[in-house]
């Protein structure tokens, strides 16, 4: 059973994912409050500024019954280590703390596959095993991944303290069709370039749908969930990619064909989420690369 929020605050509303989330919310008939540093227009109620601004967030939270928190510096290279870690974690704390104070009962926050520590690792790293799942230990060595770990800890704290349900969506690489096509070609020419991200992806439309499911599903407590399309963005067999580019990584389950080495069963079980927009990649033999 699910409930439908009547008024949703979306932080990072002007971003690529935020813009798609606004379209999903409009299609669902939910009233939207947007918050971002830049007003993209088209949102009836919009607050311009930082998601770490307590007074601004408190004002934006009035009358809201669900929150989708997407505002963040999305890569460790887009700011100093202090800006990335402190900025991201401060925004998440302020948004969730103010949501709890306003009586909001359900929230989604954008986490990341990067939390495992591979995508932005300053040194070579391989996962403890594949497919990656929520039980796998982290190998964090960069401020962005560390900020996501802190964000998820904040979600767990608010869930315990205030009884708010918080779903942290561990997104893989997100993209629209042109972006996915560029990366599919990159992974064809240089398969190793996709290893840190486990060759995974998710269409931006599916990511936005997952956000909606996160604020409408009947859940309690804090949950962190991996998401991905079922197949990789690489044309080569996953088992061969793992052998070549993630040497020595144990396999806890078979990875036939181009199966993504990310276990998304928890998101399916909790939210009923299944990726629907699959990027068409023509399979190939790894020896062709």
Residues annotated as catalytic are: 144
| Rg from Cα positions in the chain | 19
Burial profile 209-239: b = 16 or more Cβ within 10 angstroms, e = fewer:
bbbbbbbbbebeebbbbbbbbebbbbbbbbb
What Å distances lie between residue 91 and 38, 62, 66, 148, 181, CA to CA?
Answer: 16, 17, 16, 12, 32
Could you tell me which residues come within 8 angstroms of residue 25 by beta carbon, excluding any fewer than 6 positions away? Answer: 8, 10, 32, 212
């Amino acid at each position: 059973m699910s409930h439908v929020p009547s008024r949703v605050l979306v932080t990072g509303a002007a971003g690529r994912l935020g813009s798609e989330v606004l379209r999903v919310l409009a299609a669902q008939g939910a009233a939207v409050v947007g918050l971002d540093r830049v007003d993209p227009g088209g949102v009836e109620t919009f607050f311009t500024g930082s998601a770490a601004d307590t007074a601004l967030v408190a004002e934006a939270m009035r009358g809201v019954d669900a929150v989708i928190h997407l505002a963040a510096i999305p890569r460790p290279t887009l700011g100093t280590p202090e800006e990335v870690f402190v900025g991201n974690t401060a925004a998440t704390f302020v948004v969730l703390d103010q949501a709890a104070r306003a009586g909001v009962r359900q929230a989604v926050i954008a986490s990341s596959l990067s939390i495992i520590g591979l995508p932005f690792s300053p040194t070579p790293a391989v996962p403890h095993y594949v497919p990656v799942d929520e039980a796998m230990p982290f190998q964090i060595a960069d401020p962005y991944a560390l900020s996501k770990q802190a964000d998820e800890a904040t979600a767990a704290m608010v869930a315990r303290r205030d009884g708010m349900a918080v779903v942290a969506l561990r997104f893989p690489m997100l993209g629209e069709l042109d972006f996915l096509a560029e990366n599919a070609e990159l992974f064809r020419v240089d398969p190793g370039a996709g290893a840190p991200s486990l060759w995974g992806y998710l269409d931006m439309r599916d990511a936005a749908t997952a956000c909606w499911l996160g604020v409408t599903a009947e859940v309690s407590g804090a949950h962190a969930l991996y998401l991905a399309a079922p197949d990789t963005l690489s044309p080569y067999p996953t088992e061969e990619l793992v052998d070549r580019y993630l040497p020595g990584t144990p396999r806890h389950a078979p990875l036939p064909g181009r199966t993504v080495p990310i276990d998304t069963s928890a998101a399916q079980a909790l939210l009923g989420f299944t990726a629907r927009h699959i990027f068409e990649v023509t399979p190939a033999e790894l020896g062709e690369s």
